[in-house]
Amino acid sequence: MAKITFTDIGQTYDKDPNQETWALKPMSMTLESGRSYALVGPSGCGKTTILNIISGIINPFQGKVFLDENDVTKLPTAKRNVALVFQFPTIYKSMTVEQNLAFPLVCRKWEPAKIKQRVGDIAEQIGISHKLNRSASKLGADEKQLISLGRGLVRDDVTALLMDEPLTVIDPQLKFELRKKIKQIIEGKDITVVYVTHDQYEAMTFADELLVMSLGKLVQRGTPEDLFERPNSKYVGNFIGSPAMNFFKAEVVDGFAQIGDYRLNTAVNLKKLSDRYLEFGIRPEHVRVQGGPGDNVLTVDFIGFDDLGSTRVLNCLFAGELIKVKVPRSFEMPEQGLIDIKLPKDNLLAYRDGLQVL
């Protein structure tokens, strides 16, 4: 297992000198050994590019990559000993399942007896022992992905396990099963995992830490709790959580956020700030429906709700802004019309130009 360090890594595919167009804007970061990370972000934000730079499939346009303390920027893929699971199952069609799993070891010129034993162990772990002699091309997509994973794990000394949206091509019913299985397989091992997905739930179930990306930049990294409770930007607030965070504009008056006739206390000390207007954000999960007036309570127009199954989301209008409130299913729906909602002070965060104000 190894620590992965990027120093000033940037990537452009067309060598455009204007950095704003780069697929990956220059960035530095460290991924600690033995931890699991999820890279999330919309399509085209550079997730695959990061994985390819770690694995060496592409050489970065600028900057250096380190595995532990070794500079591997110029090292060929084979020498880096990284395991990668692609979005589309990549199996060697001309080989059997067993030959597929043995392939990395054969490349390393292990002894046949040792290979057989190791392959047996791994096949057991990924649960395909009974299919070792099948032709790999005959398997389903989920089993092919397991084999890709198995080929990564069969080397006992991989520096990192990279997965690029491994569940994309899996049927929804199998997705859940396979996700659980992959998690189980990885969990027992002290392995540095980088998991790419654009599904935030997948990211949260897999990873100790999430890295949220946008347009070739790392926007925020942190535990699921960090991203949920303290999104550092409107972008993260919208991207993480469902429904997205509520944002509304308000005037800053005497250290309060003034919206309509109401004055709200916020988590930030607004007195220190010189802004006249700021945007404020609060998670729909933190907004509460309240019996009557009080501190930080707004009277809003409840116009309807969305049923999400286990939860429901109330849509409320206030001074032209839509505020969503997430409640458990057991919550008794009020009549449509005016209701009171409380925006707890500690959960009401301030944003300027899309970035959090602390």
Partner 1 sequence: MSRIFKYSFIFIWSAFVLTPLSWALVTSFKPPAAVNNGATFIPWLQFQPTLDGWKDITGISGYANLFPPLINSATVTFFATLVSLTFGCMAAYGLSRFSYGWKHYKNPDIIFFFISQRIMPPAVLAVPFFILLKTLHLLDTKLGLVLVLTSGLMPIVVWLLVDFFNQLPKEIDEMAMLEGCNPFEAFVRTILPLSKPGLTVAGMFSIIFGWNDLFFALVLTFTNVQTLPVAVVALNGTVTPFWTLCASAIFSILPLIGLAFVVERFLSKGGFAGAVR
Ligand X SMILES: Nc1ncnc2c1ncn2[C@@H]1O[C@H](COP(=O)(O)OP(=O)(O)OP(=O)(O)O)[C@@H](O)[C@H]1O
Residues 171-200 that bind ligand X (CB under 6 A): 198
Neighbour-count burial for 49-61, b at 16+ CB within 10 Å, e otherwise: bbbbbbbbebebb
Closer residue to Mg ion, CB minimum distance, 62 or 168: 168
The one of ligand X, partner 1, Mg ion, none whose footprint includes residue 81, by CB under 5 to 8 A per kind, is partner 1
Closer residue to Mg ion, CB minimum distance, 11 or 48: 48
Residues 23-62 that bind Mg ion (CB under 5 A): 48
- x/- mask, ligand X, residues 37-56, rule CB under 6 A, reads ----x-xxxxxxx-------
Contact pick of 9, 39, 83, 348 for partner 1 (by CB under 8 A): 83
Closer residue to Mg ion, CB minimum distance, 48 or 220: 48
CB of 86 to partner 1, least distance (A): 5
DSSP string, 77-121: HHHH-EEEE-SS----TTSBHHHHHHHHHHHTT--HHHHHHHHHH
CB of 112 to ligand X, least distance (A): 38
Closest CA to 340 of 323, 357, 358, 320: 323
Q: What angle do CA 269, 273, 275 make, to 5 degrees?
A: 130
Q: Please tell me whether residue 94 binds partner 1 under the rule CB under 8 A.
A: yes
End-to-end Cα separation, the chain, in angstroms: 36
Residues 6+ apart with CB under 8 A from 207: 36, 37, 38, 193, 195, 224
Closer residue to partner 1, CB minimum distance, 79 or 345: 79
Residue 299 phi/psi, 5-degree rounding, is -100, 120
Structure tokens belonging to residue 205: 């179930």
User: How many residues make contact with partner 1 (CB under 8 A)?
Assistant: 26
Q: Please tell me whether residue 218 binds ligand X under the rule CB under 6 A.
A: no
Q: What angle do CA 144, 207, 223 make, to 5 degrees?
A: 160
CB of 172 to partner 1, least distance (A): 20
Taking each helix axis as running N to C, give the angle between helix 97-107 and helix 141-153, from 0 to 180 degrees, rounded to the nearest 10: 30
The one of Mg ion, partner 1, ligand X, none whose footprint includes residue 198, by CB under 5 to 8 A per kind, is ligand X
Residues 100-119 that bind partner 1 (CB under 8 A): 103-104, 107-108
Integer Cα distance of 1 and 212 in angstroms: 23
Which residues in this chain contact ligand X in the complex, by CB under 6 A? 13, 23, 41, 43-49, 198
Which residues in this chain contact partner 1 in the complex, by CB under 8 A? 55-57, 76-78, 80-84, 86, 88-90, 92-95, 103-104, 107-108, 148, 151, 155
